[in-house]
Amino acid sequence: MTLKGRDLISIRDLSREEIEEVLRSAKRMIPYAEGTKLGDQLGGKLVTLAFFEPSTRTRLSFETAIQRLGGRCVTIADPSASSMRKGETLHDTIRMLSSYGDAIVLRHPNEGSGRLAAQASDKPVINAGDGAGQHPTQTLLDLATMQEAFGTLSGLKVVLLGDLKYGRTVHSLAYALAVFGAELVLSAPPGLGLPEEVRSQLDQMGAKISEEDQIHRVVRDADILYVTRIQKERFVDLAEYEKVAGSYRIDSALLKSAKQRLIVMHPLPRTGEIAPEVDATAHAAYFRQAFLGVPVRMALLSLILTGKAG
Ligand code: NCD
């Protein structure tokens, strides 16, 4: 079992053991991510970051992970400044980039673009979000956050709240949680439930799933409340977005009935789903979650580029 040279397009590309290996390695990477230890695990390897959609955390945590481990990167952060604007296909862009660097990290608005890129590239491709598809590296850092808080990933009761239709983070996360035997509670505004395809795969995996649209009913016995933003940019009809905008908000009053150890997670950015007053409570895990993106991406890059757990 080795991740060396492999692509990561869907979280389902990784076995349970491989996910556990990344998480173990990520734990050891924390001092490097904090800057208290200096690393050179990537030994000058060059990673190409091709971001064709807005990103703050994902891109900068990849860049931070690379730089802190002695790697180098070149980045397309503004697609309007690249030749895609001149009509170059994703295939051609990726094929060319794969001859420049040692791996490619891709974010793109089209679902399926990660797979397409992996076919065009002879270097490993890491999917950093493909439209409403998958976001596997976010899932790895989500799992790292849960494991750090609870010491385990099994037996957790996780509420997935928000836009489960277009939210790629929850698509990837739901698969991974099913693998670890978590209990899932789906809570989405009308019309924003999990896509049929994701739901049926989860059912085939034997996932324990229930649905509850009244959030106050599930807060009481949940371990994790995973909140997501309504993905406004993916709505074909903005009038449909307006119908559901602002339909849920987590605040201190709601959390009064929660277990003491409940953690609130969010891939960020938040746009009003979590009141800022929650930040000061022991429930707030989202900024720690964002930090853990660095050691998790360090672990993943080290395993993919060098085969070593670091
Ligand atoms: C998420 C994304 O891009 O899918 N952000 C992230 O990577 N942390 C979530 C979102 O944009 O709502």
In terms of Cβ atoms closer than 10 Å to its own Cβ (0-12, 13-18, 19+), residue 80 is exposed
Q: Compute and round to an integer the Cα radius of gyration of the chain.
A: 19
Domains 11-135+293-306 and 137-289 agree in fold: yes
For 176-187, b where at least 16 C-beta lie within 10 A, e where not — what string?
bbbbbebbbbbb
For 83-116, b where at least 16 C-beta lie within 10 A, e where not — what string?
ebeeeeebeebbeebbeebbbbbbbbeebebbbb
Pocket test for ligand 1, best of 268, 271, 289, 292 (most atoms within 8 A of CB): 268
How many angstroms from the chain centroid is the CA of residue 68?
21
Nearest Cα to Cα of residue 167 among 129, 212, 127, 132? 132
Pick the residue whose CA is nearest to atom 1 on ligand 1.
267
Nearest-atom index, ligand 1, CA of 168: 4
Residues 194-252 pLDDT 10s: 999 999 999 999 999 999 999 999 999 999 999 999 999 999 999 999 999 999 999 99
Residue 159: what pLDDT? 98
Nearest Cα to Cα of residue 56 among 299, 293, 295, 272? 293
Cβ count within 10 A of residue 277:
13
CATH 3.40.50.1370 fits 137-289, yes or no: yes
- How far, CA to CA in Å, does 148 sit from each of 22, 51, 61, 139? 14, 29, 19, 14
Rounded average pLDDT per 10-residue block, the chain, 310 residues: 94 98 98 98 98 96 98 91 82 97 97 98 98 98 98 96 98 98 97 98 97 93 98 96 97 97 98 98 98 98 94
Residues 119, 81: Cα–Cα separation, whole Å: 24
Q: How far is the CA of 268 from the centre of ligand 1 (A)?
A: 6
Q: What are phi and psi of 292, to 5 degrees?
A: -65, -15
Q: Which CATH class is domain 11-135+293-306?
A: alpha beta
Catalytic positions? 57-58, 86, 107, 135
Q: How far is the CA of 224 from the centre of ligand 1 (A)?
A: 18
Q: How far is the CA of 128 from the centre of ligand 1 (A)?
A: 9
Residues 28-50 pLDDT 10s: 999 999 999 999 999 999 999 99
The SS3 call for residue 111 is coil
Q: In what order do the strands lie in the sheet with 125-130?
A: 72-76, 46-51, 103-108, 125-130
Pocket test for ligand 1, best of 135, 228, 233, 241 (most atoms within 8 A of CB): 135
Residue type, 13: D
Residues 199, 99: Cα–Cα separation, whole Å: 38
Global pTM reads: 0.97
Q: What is the domain partition of the chain in residue ranges?
A: 11-135+293-306, 137-289
Token couple for 42:
């990537």
DSSP assignment letter at 239: H
